[in-house]
Amino acid sequence: MKKIVSFFNREQNLLIHICVSIIVIIASVILKLNLYEWMLIIFVISFVITTELFNSSIELAVDAYTNKFKELAMVAKDVAAGAVVLSAFTSVVVGLYVFLPKILSLLNV
């Protein structure tokens, strides 16, 4: 249990992604998504968490390799972080596509 806690202390962004994923899953149940919508939501949740895990792996590998500043090490970390940002942006777009019509219909707009 200590290793899990220390992992999430080091990888706070992953913890944020997991917490947001739980909220999205609860909203999905409440809004009664159809199978197609569930597939989209599960895909983007997996996509974001996977990119975050790859980002963490690259950062750890670079840190294990060198503790000095190296231009290529910085680029590797930045590109990995960019992949997470892109996947998070994609998940927001998909989330709007899935949830916005349902929320608007609840509000009778």
Provide the whole-model pTM: 0.85
Average pLDDT taken over every residue of the chain: 91
- Among 1-5, 65-69, 101-105, top mean pLDDT goes to 101-105
Measured CA to CA in angstroms, residue 58 lies from 52, 54, 74 at distances of 10, 6, 11
Q: What is the pLDDT of residues 60-86, one digit of tens each?
A: 899 898 888 889 989 999 999 999 999
The catalytic residue among 37, 52, 59, 71 is 52
In angstroms, the CA 26 to CA 20 distance is 10
DSSP 18-59: HHHHHHHHHHHHHTT--HHHHHHHHHHHHHHHHHHHHHHHHH
Structural domains in the chain, CATH included, are 2-106 (1.10.287.3610)
Residue 11 binned pLDDT confidence (cut-offs 50, 70, 90): confident
Q: Residue 13: its pLDDT value, please?
A: 87
- Mean pLDDT in residue range 19-35: 96
Is 52 catalytic? The answer is yes
| pLDDT of 32 over the 90 cut | yes
